[in-house]
Structures are given as structure tokens and as C-alpha cells.
């Protein structure tokens, strides 16, 4: 298992020897062992001298990345292979030696761990853990407390917690960062999905501590994406984050405004991603060419080559209308195979996948108070009515779908995360479902989450100004204190009145906030969805005030009643 003192050892060589977390401790494994070891690892790293670097980490299901602030902007740090992305794979060998990333591919399946993010922090009886057990090539086993472990005969006591595997991966990322910065890395901001519960969040923190981090701060992945895209947090808007990675699919609706970001709703499919389009291409090659030629595609070498060829085809078709695929077998008379796959064919192969992709989008919109089916049907009915009235087709096409969450603005932007969003068919799907074209900002969707995490890391380091990142409880506490000060201090009230349009508000209304926040401020922290622990991002510049017209409703009406009294 991971030795805390070996955090940066072997940065140039991915092979490292792992040692027991507690070599002198006998008995069965328990979750307490990991918690204690994490605390020891963090304590061991606290004595490092010199100014330490702070980084942002996207600890992904398929790939991971680490980024930092350089010359005032977030940049991804390349690994020892020169790549910004490191495959989230860890292989254990004899004596506990480990291989990380690309080097771990091709190792014995039973001790090569991938997608551990799917089971981190879960119990063995968790339905998702049971489902994953049938999909993974390695074995899942429970500990004495019922928590999930992964079987590993190369370490004592024969099993590892998912966070221990993640810690090995984090160790390599931190070593890459230390090599790039020339400084020790003892603090990091690590991204987690918006739907992670407290146990999963705590397990992620434990993984960071096991890797030797003194301070671990979490940020929700869609919030990190919003930071990477540089949203103006003062502008009120509702944003859709569409995250389609290699093996997972996540949808999030964010409300931005008054300097904060709040997660309104989430949806997703943990088993939908770019790999499924690869599998669709492999299936097409098998059905149309290889199986009729009598090729056994289950042979490991052939299967691996097919997957690599399919991934190449998918990437090429993101930029070209067709691609030529070649294989040394499967052709006429036992010769080489040469076939052409077009973008239109790939679109057809992915029809079922897009049907699956729609369900989480429907669910996320429904949680936010939008019936997507009803909205789309309403749009179609409006277009048909316009056609009956003789409105030209070009005018009918200008009528766009509007997705307006309950009591909020309509969705105005779509942010892309994950390499699979580069496929033109995915972008057309998004445009069709939302009526909006995805943002074309100069942000690599593979790197967006890591870059956003680096922005928050820069805030902790003092390298990014005019932004303040708050957790939900911190934001609520600050708002409560501000309201208390407004009630008790006439000077504070006069300062607020001088900065904001207070027209239509009665005496004392701005102070007590009325029923919806008052003073033109909206309580961003109290949505209908429980977002406990959700990081809020607050700009230190003045938020854009909301005008209240006399008698227009809401606070203005309540203010009028108070004046009448």
C-alpha cells in the first residue's frame, strides 16, 4: 500500500514499491485504518520547508489531470509522457510495486484497477457497487464494516480500499506537479461529481491525505467547468453543463448571479461515454467484415487492436467526413482489410446512445421544474401554428426552444466538458434538445474541470484575485451576518442604499430581507435541491443589483403595505 514518505519518489519512473500503511498492525482491515493512515500521511508532509505549490486536480473516472496557475492563467501540467491527461489506471505487481497511467495498461486484469471512482466511498451492499462488480475485471470485496474494497493478493491483508488506489494515482499527479513547479505540492483542490454524497466526498479527501496532501479542498465538477469557461458571475443566468467523458455522462444545471454559482439539479448515466461509440464502431466492424471472414475477435490482441482502431476512427470523424480503416486481417481471401467509415454512418451507429443521453437531460430539467417534453411539444405546436398562418419557414426556424427552470431565467449557455463532446453529432444533439449552440470558448473540454479546479487553487494561493470561493454554509452565514448588520446599523443601511436602487422598499424591508432576500439580493444558497457542501463562488466586485419597480410585485408590494401602516 502507499507509503506516505514516497509521495514524490520515482517521478521519472512510474514503477514504485508500495508498503503497508501500518506494517506493525495485525488483524483484519477496517475503514479506521485508512482514516488513521490519511491523518499520519498529512502530518508527515506538514514539516516540508519552503513555499508549497497549490494545484487543481480532476480525479476522473477514465482520465485524470492536474493544473496550476501560471502567469495568471490556469494551465494543465504534462505528465512524464508529455500528455495533459493521465489514464486513471493503477496496476499492482509483486511486492506491492505499482504502475500508473499508460504504463499500467496491459498488466494482469485481476490487479489492474480502473474506474475506482465508481465505487469509492460506497458500501458493498450499495446497488451501484453490486452492479459494478459484474462489470469490472477485478474483484470487489467487503471489509468488516461493509465498505467496498478491491481484492489485491500483492499487498497485506489482501485487499485495498478504492481511496488507496486513488491515492497512488494522486501521488503520480502530485509528482508531475512537483517536477513542473520545482516546489513541493502539499495543497490541492480536487474535483468531485455534483451528486457525490458525504461518504464519497470524505473518501476523496482521504485519498488526497494518503497521497501526502496537508490540505484538500473539494469543488463540484460543473462549478469547476464554469470557472474554466470564465463566466461573468455578476450576470444572472442559468447554465447547462454537459459532461460526456470516456465512460460517464453527467448533466448539471447551474444558476449564476450576484457573484455566486449554485447547482440546481443533476442527472447522468455512469455507463455512457465515448467508449460506447468506440464499442459501436467495433460492433460494426465485427458484423460487417470480421465475423463473416471467420475472425475470432475475442482474442486479446485482436480485441485490443480493434478498440484502438475504433477510437482512432471516432477522433478522425470529429474533423473529417470519412476515415479509412485498415487491418492486416479480415480482408478478401484472408488478406488485409480496408474499409471506409463515414460520419453519417457513425451517427446511425450512435442512435441508441443518444436515446440514452436524453433521459438524464430530461431528469435534470424536471428536477429544476422544466418538463422538457412539454417544452419541445410546445415549440413544435407554435411552429405548426405559424405554418398554418402562412409564416415563412425561415421565420419559423428562428423560433427557438426555451428551457426556463422554475422561477428562474431560461437556460442561456451550454458548457462542454469531456473529450466525447468534440463529436459533431453530440453538439447537434445538444442544439436540438436545448435550442442553444454550445459555447465555442477556447477551453479544451478534456481539461476544463482541472483548469477550473486550478482557478480555485489559485484563489487559495493568492494568485487569483477578485474571486472568493465559499461553501454553502459559509455563504449562508455571511448573508445572515450582513442582514443582522443592516438591521442594527443605520450607517450600513445608508451605505447599501447608496450603492443599490432601493426604490419601492419600505423601512426595515431591506434589513430583514422579507420573504425572498430583500434589498435586491437573492438568497442563492437555498434552492429546492439540497446542495450541502456545494462550493459557491463569489466575486468581490459589487453584484449587479435587481431593480424593483413600485407596485410591480414581490418585495415592492410588501414594501407598499408597510408604508401604509
pLDDT(180) > 70: yes
* Of residues 74 and 531, more confidently modeled: 74
- The pLDDT of residue 393 is 78
Q: Output the CA torsion 284→289→291→297 (10° steps).
A: -70
**Among 8-12, 39-43, 71-75, 153-157, which is the least confidently predicted range?**
8-12
- The pLDDT of residue 313 is 95
Q: How confident is the model at residue 405 (pLDDT cuts 50, 70, 90)?
A: low
- The pLDDT of residue 376 is 64
**Among 299-303, 366-370, 377-381, 553-557, which is the least confidently predicted range?**
553-557
* Of residues 528 and 67, more confidently modeled: 67
pLDDT tens, residue by residue, 240-278 = 999 999 888 999 988 887 777 888 888 888 889 999 999
- The pLDDT of residue 394 is 72
pLDDT(300) > 90: no
- As a whole number, mean pLDDT of residues 158-171 equals 95
H helix or E strand, kind and range, residue 117: none
Distance of CA 504 to the CA centre of its chain: 42
pLDDT(287) > 60: yes
- The pLDDT of residue 520 is 27
Q: How confident is the model at residue 350 (pLDDT cuts 50, 70, 90)?
A: very high
Q: How confident is the model at residue 59 (pLDDT cuts 50, 70, 90)?
A: very high
- The pLDDT of residue 433 is 86
Report in angstroms the alpha-carbon separations of 80 from 84, 93, 444: 10, 21, 20
pLDDT tens, residue by residue, 419-475 = 999 999 999 999 888 888 898 778 899 999 999 999 988 877 776 655 555 555 555
Distance of CA 505 to the CA centre of its chain: 41
* Of residues 420 and 18, more confidently modeled: 420
- As a whole number, mean pLDDT of residues 91-113 equals 91
Catalytic residues: 58, 117, 221, 243
Q: How confident is the model at residue 96 (pLDDT cuts 50, 70, 90)?
A: confident
- Phi and psi at 335, nearest 5°, equal -85, -170
- The pLDDT of residue 523 is 33
Residue 124: closest CA among 33, 194, 29: 29
The x, y and z cell numbers of residue 416, run together, are 462542454
- The pLDDT of residue 208 is 95
pLDDT(4) > 90: no
DSSP 3-state assignment of 323?
strand
Q: How confident is the model at residue 402 (pLDDT cuts 50, 70, 90)?
A: low
The x, y and z cell numbers of residue 329, run together, are 486481417
Please state, in angstroms and rounded to a whole number, the distance separating the CA atoms of residues 353 and 357: 6
Strand pairing partners for 416? Answer: 242
- As a whole number, mean pLDDT of residues 325-329 equals 90
- The pLDDT of residue 217 is 92
**Among 58-67, 197-206, 253-262, 460-469, which is the least confidently predicted range?**
460-469
- The pLDDT of residue 205 is 95
* Of residues 25 and 171, more confidently modeled: 171
- The pLDDT of residue 303 is 86
Please state, in angstroms and rounded to a whole number, the distance separating the CA atoms of residues 104 and 282: 23
The x, y and z cell numbers of residue 459, run together, are 484563489
The x, y and z cell numbers of residue 406, run together, are 422554475
**Among 31-45, 119-133, 288-302, 446-460, which is the least confidently predicted range?**
31-45
pLDDT(323) > 70: yes
* Of residues 539 and 366, more confidently modeled: 366
**pTM of this structure:** 0.72
Omega before 202 cis (within 30°)?
A: no
pLDDT(339) > 80: yes
What's the mean pLDDT when you consider all of the chain?
77
Residue 117: closest CA among 79, 96, 77, 87: 87
- The pLDDT of residue 28 is 41
- The pLDDT of residue 211 is 94
Amino acid at each position: 500500500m502507499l507509503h506516505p514518505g514516497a509521495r514524490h519518489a520515482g517521478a521519472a519512473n512510474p514503477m514504485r514499491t508500495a508498503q503497508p500503511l501500518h506494517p506493525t498492525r495485525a488483524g483484519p482491515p477496517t475503514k479506521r485504518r485508512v482514516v488513521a493512515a490519511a491523518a499520519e500521511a498529512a502530518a508527515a508532509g506538514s514539516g516540508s520547508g519552503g513555499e508549497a505549490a497549490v494545484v487543481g486536480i480532476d480525479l476522473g473516472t477514465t482520465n485524470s489531470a492536474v493544473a496550476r496557475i501560471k502567469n495568471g492563467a490556469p494551465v494543465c501540467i504534462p505528465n512524464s509522457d508529455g500528455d495533459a491527461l493521465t489514464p486513471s489506471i493503477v496496476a499492482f505487481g509483486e511486492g506491492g510495486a505499482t504502475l500508473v497511467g499508460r504504463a499500467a495498461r496491459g498488466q494482469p486484469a485481476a490487479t489492474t484497477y480502473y474506474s475506482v471512482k465508481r465505487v469509492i466511498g460506497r458500501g458493498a451492499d450499495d446497488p451501484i457497487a453490486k452492479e459494478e462488480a459484474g462489470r469490472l475485471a477485478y474483484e470487489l470485496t467487503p471489509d468488516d464494516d461493509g465498505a467496498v474494497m478491491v481484492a489485491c493478493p500483492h499487498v497485506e491483508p489482501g485487499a485495498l480500499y478504492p481511496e488507496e488506489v486513488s491515492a497512488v494515482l494522486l501521488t503520480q499527479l502530485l509528482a508531475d506537479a512537483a517536477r513542473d513547479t520545482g516546489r513541493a505540492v502539499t495543497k490541492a483542490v480536487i474535483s468531485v461529481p455534483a451528486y457525490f454524497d458525504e461518504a464519497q466526498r470524505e473518501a476523496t479527501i482521504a485519498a488526497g491525505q494518503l497521497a501526502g496532501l496537508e490540505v484538500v479542498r473539494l469543488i463540484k465538477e460543473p462549478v469547476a467547468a464554469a470557472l474554466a469557461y470564465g463566466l461573468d458571475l455578476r450576470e444572472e443566468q442559468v447554465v447547462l453543463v454537459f459532461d460526456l467523458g470516456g465512460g460517464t455522462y453527467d448533466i448539471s444545471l447551474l444558476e449564476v448571479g450576484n457573484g455566486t454559482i449554485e447547482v440546481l439539479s443533476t442527472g447522468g448515466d455512469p455507463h455512457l461515454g465515448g467508449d460506447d461509440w468506440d464499442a459501436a464502431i467495433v460492433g460494426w466492424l465485427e458484423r460487417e467484415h470480421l465475423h463473416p471472414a471467420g475472425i475470432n475477435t475475442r482474442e486479446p490482441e485482436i480485441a485490443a487492436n480493434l478498440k484502438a482502431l475504433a477510437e482512432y476512427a471516432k477522433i478522425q470523424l470529429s474533423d473529417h467526413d470519412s476515415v479509412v480503416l485498415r487491418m492486416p486481417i479480415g480482408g478478401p481471401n484472408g488478406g488485409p482489410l480496408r474499409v471506409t467509415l463515414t460520419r453519417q454512418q457513425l451517427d446511425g451507429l450512435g442512435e441508441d446512445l443518444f436515446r440514452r443521453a436524453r433521459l438524464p437531460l430530461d431528469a435534470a430539467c424536471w428536477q429544476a421544474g422544466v418538463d422538457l417534453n412539454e417544452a419541445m411539444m410546445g415549440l413544435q405546436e407554435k411552429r405548426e401554428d405559424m405554418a398554418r398562418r402562412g409564416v415563412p419557414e425561415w421565420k419559423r426556424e428562428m423560433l427557438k426552444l426555451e428551457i426556463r427552470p422554475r422561477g428562474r431565467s431560461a437556460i442561456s449557455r451550454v458548457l462542454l466538458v469531456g473529450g466525447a463532446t468534440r463529436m459533431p453529432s453530440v453538439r447537434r444533439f445538444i442544439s436540438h434538445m436545448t435550442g442553444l449552440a454550445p459555447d465555442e470558448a477556447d477551453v479544451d473540454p478534456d481539461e476544463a474541470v482541472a483548469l477550473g479546479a486550478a482557478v480555485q487553487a489559485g484563489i487559495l494561493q493568492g494568485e487569483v484575485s477578485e474571486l472568493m470561493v465559499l461553501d454553502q454554509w459559509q455563504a449562508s452565514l455571511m448573508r445572515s451576518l450582513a442582514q443582522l448588520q443592516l438591521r442594527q446599523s443605520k450607517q450600513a443601511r445608508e451605505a447599501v442604499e447608496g450603492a443599490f436602487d432601493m426604490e419601492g422598499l419600505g423601512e426595515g424591508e431591506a434589513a430583514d430581507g422579507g420573504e425572498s432576500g430583500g434589498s435586491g439580493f437573492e438568497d442563492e444558497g437555498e434552492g429546492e435541491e439540497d446542495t450541502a457542501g456545494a462550493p459557491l463562488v463569489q466575486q468581490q466586485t459589487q453584484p449587479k443589483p435587481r431593480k424593483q419597480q413600485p407596485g410591480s410585485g414581490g418585495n415592492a408590494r410588501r414594501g407598499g403595505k408597510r408604508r401604509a401602516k
